[in-house]
Amino acid sequence: MAEGTSKQGGAPEQELTDGFHLIIDALKLNDVKTIYAVPGIPITDFLRMSQASGIRVLSFRHEQNAGYAAAIAGFLTKKPGICLTVSAPGFLNGLTALAHATTNCYPMILISGSSEREIVDLQQGDYEEMDQLAVAKTMCKAAYRVLHAADIGIGIARAIRSAVSGRPGGVYLDLPAKLFGQVMNAEAGKKSLVKVIDPAPAQIPAPDAVKRALDVLKGAKRPLIILGKGASYAQVDDLVRQFVEKSGVPFLPMSMAKGLLPDTHPQCAGAARSTVLKDSDVVMMIGARLNWLLSHGKGKTWGDAPKKFIQIDIEPKEMDSNVEIVAPVVGDIGSCLTAFLSAMGSKWDAPPAEWTNAVKTKREENVAKMAPRLMNNNVPMDYHGALGALRTIIKERPETILVNEGANTLDLARGIIDIYKPRKRLDVGTWGIMGIGMGQAIAATVETGKPVLAVEGDSAFGFSGMEVETICRYKLPVCVVIFNNNGIYRGTDVNKASDDPATTVFVAGARYDKMMEAFGGVGINATSPDELKRAVNEALDSGKPTLINAVLDPAAGSESGRIGNLNPQSALKKK
Ligand code: ADP
Ligand code: TPW
Ligand code: MG
């Protein structure tokens, strides 16, 4: 009998359950352990009952952050992260995160309470009225509504399967307020629940696709492997390592694939990125898309040398999306790499030494060039000095999960901080969203039990800064470092047209560390790389919620970080 069922008066007596309990029982049956949420009508009681049932509920200050938490929980666990919100405004706040999860191929379910269907559909002005299902449909992988308590089991099963099977993504589940209180026979209710069997079935690649791909790879003179966050998501870390090492091919990790093999691995071409993209002749994509982050597979970045692309992806439609893929391999990465390894046999020739040596030389040159800049102890700090300190910390504490957002703060940290273990770098993803840091930091430690170091631009942090209260409330081992350069990109812009400040500058000399102190956490103001290093080490040793305001030179950054070229230019702009 579901907890909370009751007996109705009169004969014959029957055990009853209701929507509240059926939803909780269905989630628990499918191993949901955590819900990320913001309470309010109609889900306040639902969250109380969830807690009482043993589900952990993380209650946020804004649904968008709860949603980003659920999205990254999906990425880290291969199970849908669950976000719960109230109707219309709460739903809309969560929707950005749902769209983000879909764009990034993270499995997530946004469950929102909604108003009375009869009133919404006649547009009679119900409390928080909105046709949420219609709105959500355009922004996620699938969207469903449950109207009857007896359909809750099936509704949740469909949502889970839709989120994790094939290319993972966001799913919306609409639960009208009335559903929560709907009563039904407990036995029938129990029978209506579905435990999803094999929610993300293996997708085995066709043997001839594998052979075609290996033939192309074998014929390469200057091959390159690009690992994307799909490869991190797949959690087949040993297979990835075996395949890369057996092939002998240099590999380039996309930002959230860093650490799948350590950035210090002899085959890592991270520090020779422009060279390998330009000069390679065969490129094998593993769980990475040829989107804007890879200049769509063409143009200057890719040089003049003709290229052949091999692509492993679970989504058949991804093939040929930007350039011709001569060897598409459709399947899940685990099954694909298993097939590759067995088809490669016991002996596989490494690529020509001329190529691998050229990559190695370039990498060593670039690393050597960067090294002295990372050791500077300038005050005020520049990005390299501050990141040099954090780089050492991650080297010494490779289990720490690095969360990273900003413009310069992101682009430079991505290049400078080596990652040593899989799924230890979480960032802004495919859209380059600002405001994602605190939600990700919270879910990362909640889901993995590991400490988090969140390296945040001052602007990026501002989008979700109030969640430091959540971090303090749940006593999470999160150390937030704000790279405070007084603004977006730089703190030096001047508005010559009026007394208003320039749009990219913030209050100069702001003390973000005081925000953390306001909620009982540790706040530190760090003005040099040495101070920064000491403070972060202390935070990670103590596990106490900490925020370090790292005072950076306001002139240190550049506009839009490394993607300034994407800014449109006015033909009329005066020089
Ligand atoms: P990155 O930003 O790191 O380049 P993308 O998000 O662009 O990565 O690409 C991830 C790709 O991985 C998507 O095309 C997605 O379909 C694919 N993918 C996700 N999970 C799997 C999996 N288990 N097996 C195969 N491909 C996957
Ligand atoms: C949801 C546009 C890209 S980067 C950025 C903004 C506002 C902030 C950069 O400043 P920050 O970093 O964080 O201080 P730094 O080191 O360069 O000074 N709204 C959303 N997403 C994006 N990407 C933007 C706006 C943007
Ligand atoms: Mg800034």
How would you write 363-387 as a 3-class SS string? Answer: HHHHHHHHHHHHCCCCCCECHHHHH
Q: Hey, whose CA ends up nearest to atom 24 of ligand 2?
A: 434
Which atom of ligand 2 sits closest to the CA of residue 407?
17
pLDDT computed for residue 209 by the predictor? 98
Which atom of ligand 1 sits closest to the CA of residue 226?
4
Could you say which ligand is closest to the alpha carbon of residue 169? 1
Q: Distance, CA 240 to ligand 1 centroid (Å)?
A: 14
Residue 148 DSSP code: S
Domain that holds residue 279: 207-361
- How far apart (Å, rounded) are the C-alpha atoms in residues 429 and 229? 9
Which atom of ligand 2 sits closest to the CA of residue 461?
13
Could you say which ligand is closest to the alpha carbon of residue 386? 2
- Asked if 433 contacts 457 with a C-beta cutoff of 8 angstroms, the reply is no
Which atom of ligand 1 sits closest to the CA of residue 255?
3
In this structure, the dihedral spanned by the alpha carbons of residues 415, 421, 422 and 425, taken in order and rounded to 10 degrees, is -40
* 437 and 471 inside one domain: yes
- How far apart (Å, rounded) are the C-alpha atoms in residues 424 and 401? 4
Is residue 1 domain-resident?
no
Q: Hey, whose CA ends up nearest to atom 4 of ligand 1?
A: 288
- How far apart (Å, rounded) are the C-alpha atoms in residues 148 and 180? 9
Q: Sheet of 56-59: strands edge to edge?
A: 56-59, 34-37, 81-85, 108-114, 170-176, 142-145
Is residue 200 domain-resident?
no
Q: Hey, whose CA ends up nearest to atom 20 of ligand 2?
A: 434
Secondary structure element (H or E) that encloses residue 250, with its range = none
* 240 and 337 inside one domain: yes
What the block records as the tokens of 2 is 């579901």
pLDDT computed for residue 13 by the predictor? 82
* 33 and 126 inside one domain: yes
Q: Is 483 exposed, middle or buried (0-12, 13-18, 19+ CB in 10 A)?
A: buried
Maximum CA extent, the chain: 87
Which residues form ligand 1's pocket by a CB distance below 6 Å? 104-105, 167-168, 228-230, 233-234, 254, 256-257, 287-289, 291, 293, 313-315, 318, 332-333, 430
* 102 and 175 inside one domain: yes
Q: Distance, CA 357 to ligand 3 centroid (Å)?
A: 38
CATH, residue 261: 3.40.50.1220
Which atom of ligand 2 sits closest to the CA of residue 456?
13
What the block records as the tokens of 420 is 């040593």
Query: pTM here?
Result: 0.97
Is residue 19 domain-resident?
yes
* 50 and 150 inside one domain: yes
pLDDT computed for residue 305 by the predictor? 84
Question: Going by DSSP bridges, is the β-strand pair 183-185/6-7 parallel, antiparallel, or unpaired?
Answer: unpaired
Which residues form ligand 2's pocket by a CB distance below 6 Å? 406-409, 432-435, 457-460, 483, 485, 488-489, 557, 561
Q: Distance, CA 489 to ligand 2 centroid (Å)?
A: 7
Q: Is 321 exposed, middle or buried (0-12, 13-18, 19+ CB in 10 A)?
A: middle
- How far apart (Å, rounded) are the C-alpha atoms in residues 180 and 201? 32
* 72 and 180 inside one domain: yes
- How far apart (Å, rounded) are the C-alpha atoms in residues 441 and 111? 22
Our count of domains for the chain comes to 3
CATH, residue 166: 3.40.50.970
Which atom of ligand 2 sits closest to the CA of residue 433?
21
101-140 burial code (b ≥16 CB/10 A, e <16): bbbbbbbbbbbbbbbebeebeeeeebebbbbbbebbeebb
pLDDT values of the chain reduced to their tens digit, one per residue, 575 residues? 444 445 555 567 899 999 999 999 999 999 999 999 999 999 999 999 999 999 999 999 999 999 999 999 999 999 999 999 999 999 999 999 999 999 999 999 999 999 999 999 999 999 999 999 999 999 999 999 999 999 999 999 999 999 999 999 999 999 999 999 999 999 999 999 999 999 999 999 999 999 999 999 999 999 999 999 999 999 999 999 999 999 999 999 999 999 999 999 999 999 999 999 999 999 999 999 999 999 999 999 999 989 999 999 999 999 999 999 999 999 999 999 999 999 999 999 999 999 999 999 999 999 999 999 999 999 999 999 999 999 999 999 999 999 999 999 999 999 999 999 999 999 999 999 999 999 999 999 999 999 999 999 999 999 999 999 999 999 999 999 999 999 999 999 999 999 999 999 999 999 999 999 999 999 999 999 999 999 999 999 999 999 999 999 999 999 999 999 999 999 887 65
* 45 and 139 inside one domain: yes
* 172 and 281 inside one domain: no
Is residue 198 domain-resident?
no
Question: How far is the CA of 247 from the CAs of 81, 340, 351, 357, 476, in angstroms?
Answer: 35, 10, 8, 15, 41
* Cβ atoms within 10 Å of 392's Cβ, excluding its own: 18
Choosing from 361, 390, 420, the residue where a domain stops is 361
Q: Hey, whose CA ends up nearest to atom 21 of ligand 1?
A: 230
pLDDT computed for residue 1 by the predictor? 42
Is residue 110 domain-resident?
yes
Choosing from 310, 332, 361, the residue where a domain stops is 361
Q: Distance, CA 538 to ligand 3 centroid (Å)?
A: 24
Is residue 7 domain-resident?
no
Is residue 411 domain-resident?
yes
Choosing from 311, 326, 361, the residue where a domain stops is 361
pLDDT computed for residue 2 by the predictor? 46
Report the first-to-last Cα separation within the chain, whole angstroms.
Answer: 75
* 31 and 169 inside one domain: yes
* 233 and 188 inside one domain: no
Q: Distance, CA 214 to ligand 3 centroid (Å)?
A: 45
Q: Distance, CA 456 to ligand 3 centroid (Å)?
A: 8
Is residue 232 domain-resident?
yes
What the block records as the tokens of 172 is 């919306």
Q: Which of 489, 549, 562, 566 to mutate to test the pocket of ligand 2 (most atoms within 8 A of CB)?
A: 489
* 185 and 211 inside one domain: no
* 168 and 212 inside one domain: no
List, for residues 473-502, the tens digit of each pLDDT value.
999 999 999 999 999 999 999 999 999 999
Quickly count helices (H) and strands (E) in the chain: 22, 20
